[in-house]
C-alpha cells in the first residue's frame, strides 16, 4: 500500500537529521543552513512544495545543499519514460531528498546522495511506483582508507537485502557516474539504484531508507578526519579543475537534473549541486608521480571492501 504521508515523513525527517549532522561538523562558529521553503501552485508545469537547505561560505563546507521536494505533474517528462515508454502520458508524484556537499579543503571529498520515490498514475490502470537513489564519493586527493570506509558502510547498509545487492548497486554506480565524453569516472563510486519495485513496496522503501540513513556515517567521519590538513594554492587549483568534471556530469548526463529541468522544477534547487569555484584547462594532464596523478589511478573501479 502506497502511503504518501509515510513517504513525506521519512524524507523530511532524513533532511532534518542530515542538516543537523552537517551543522555539528561546522561547529558553533561555523555556518548554519539557510532554509528556503517554496511552493508551486497547481496549474504550473509542476505543482508541489519543498524545502531547500543551503550552506555557503562555511568553516568546512564551501557550498552544500540538502533539498526535500514533493512535486506532481500531469505527465512524466521524457527523461523518465525513455526506458519505459508504457508510462508515457501518466501523471506522477515524486518525493525525495537530494544533497551535494562541497567542502573547502581539497583533502575532503565532495559527496552526493539522493533517495526518492515516484508514483505514476492514470485512470484506467493500477499505479506504477518505484524507488531510486544512492550515494557516491568524489575525492580530489584520495586516501584509500577513506574510500574503503565509504564503500564498507554502503555494503553494511545493503546486507539485509541480499548478499549480492551491494555488488550489483556498486557496479551500477560505477557505470552511471561515468563521463562518456571524457571516458573517465566522476569519482570513486558508491551505490546507485533506480526503477526499484521488486519484492514489494515495504521492502523497497526499507532499502531506500537504509541507504539514506547510512549517508552521515559513510561520509562525515571522513570530513572530521581530513578537514584540518594544511593545503595551498596548488591543491585548491587542482580541486577547482576536477570540480569541472562534476559540473559536466550534472549538466550533461545526470538523470535527476534532466528530470527536474524538463518537468519544470525549481531551477535554484536543482542546480544547488554545482560547486562555487570551478576551472577548466585545455587538454591538461597531471605529471607522472604527482599526488594529482594518483587520483586518476584510484578512479578506476575496483572492489574496495
**In angstroms, rounded to a whole number, what is the distance separating the alpha carbons of residues 46 and 39?**
10
pLDDT at position 44: 61
pLDDT at position 38: 85
pLDDT at position 82: 60
3-state secondary structure of 128: strand
pLDDT at position 83: 65
pLDDT at position 91: 83
**In angstroms, rounded to a whole number, what is the distance separating the alpha carbons of residues 48 and 38?**
9
Torsion of CA 213, 217, 222, 224, to 10 degrees: 110
In a domain, 126, yes or no: yes
Domain that holds residue 152: 4-273
In a domain, 122, yes or no: yes
In a domain, 304, yes or no: no
pLDDT at position 271: 87
* pTM across the whole model: 0.92
We report the CATH number of the domain holding residue 235 as 3.40.1500.10
* Total domains, the chain: 1
Task: Provide the annotated active-site residues.
Answer: 112
Element (H, E) at 136: strand 125-138
pLDDT at position 81: 61
pLDDT in tens, 161-217: 999 999 999 999 999 999 999 999 999 999 999 989 999 999 999 999 999 999 999
Taking 50 as the pLDDT cut, the residues of the chain under it are none
In a domain, 209, yes or no: yes
pLDDT at position 193: 96
Residue 296 CA: distances (Å) to CA of 4, 69, 91, 174, 203: 43, 35, 43, 15, 37
**In angstroms, rounded to a whole number, what is the distance separating the alpha carbons of residues 82 and 14?**
30
In a domain, 41, yes or no: yes
**In angstroms, rounded to a whole number, what is the distance separating the alpha carbons of residues 92 and 8?**
15
In a domain, 294, yes or no: no
pLDDT at position 256: 80
**In angstroms, rounded to a whole number, what is the distance separating the alpha carbons of residues 34 and 50?**
14
Amino acid at each position: 500500500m502506497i502511503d504518501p504521508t509515510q513517504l513525506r515523513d521519512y524524507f523530511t525527517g532524513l533532511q532534518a537529521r542530515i542538516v543537523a549532522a552537517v551543522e555539528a561538523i561546522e561547529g558553533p562558529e561555523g555556518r548554519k543552513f539557510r532554509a528556503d521553503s517554496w511552493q508551486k501552485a497547481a496549474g504550473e508545469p509542476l505543482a508541489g512544495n519543498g524545502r531547500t537547505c543551503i550552506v555557503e561560505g562555511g568553516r568546512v563546507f564551501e557550498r552544500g545543499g540538502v533539498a526535500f521536494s514533493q512535486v506532481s505533474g500531469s505527465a512524466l517528462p521524457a527523461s523518465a519514460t525513455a526506458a519505459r515508454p508504457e508510462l508515457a502520458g501518466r501523471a506522477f508524484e515524486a518525493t525525495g531528498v537530494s544533497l551535494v556537499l562541497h567542502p573547502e579543503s581539497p583533502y575532503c571529498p565532495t559527496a552526493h546522495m539522493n533517495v526518492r520515490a515516484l508514483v505514476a498514475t492514470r485512470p484506467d490502470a493500477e499505479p506504477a511506483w518505484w524507488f531510486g537513489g544512492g550515494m557516491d564519493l568524489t575525492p580530489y586527493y584520495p586516501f584509500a582508507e577513506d574510500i574503503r570506509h565509504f564503500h564498507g558502510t554502503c555494503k553494511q547498509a545493503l546486507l539485509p537485502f541480499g548478499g549480492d545487492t551491494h555488488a550489483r548497486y556498486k557496479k551500477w554506480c560505477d557505470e552511471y557516474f561515468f563521463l562518456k565524453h571524457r571516458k573517465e569516472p566522476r569519482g570513486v563510486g558508491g551505490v546507485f539504484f533506480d526503477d526499484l519495485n521488486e519484492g514489494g513496496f515495504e521492502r523497497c522503501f526499507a532499502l531506500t531508507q537504509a541507504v539514506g540513513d547510512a549517508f552521515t556515517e559513510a561520509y562525515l567521519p571522513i570530513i572530521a578526519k581530513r578537514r584540518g590538513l594544511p593545503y595551498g594554492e596548488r591543491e585548491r587549483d587542482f580541486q577547482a579543475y576536477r570540480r569541472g568534471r562534476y559540473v559536466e556530469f550534472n549538466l550533461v548526463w545526470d538523470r535527476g537534473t534532466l528530470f527536474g529541468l524538463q518537468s519544470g522544477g525549481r531551477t535554484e534547487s536543482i542546480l544547488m549541486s554545482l560547486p562555487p569555484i570551478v576551472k577548466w584547462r585545455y587538454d591538461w594532464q597531471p605529471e607522472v608521480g604527482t599526488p594529482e596523478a594518483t587520483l586518476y589511478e584510484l578512479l578506476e573501479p575496483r572492489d574496495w571492501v
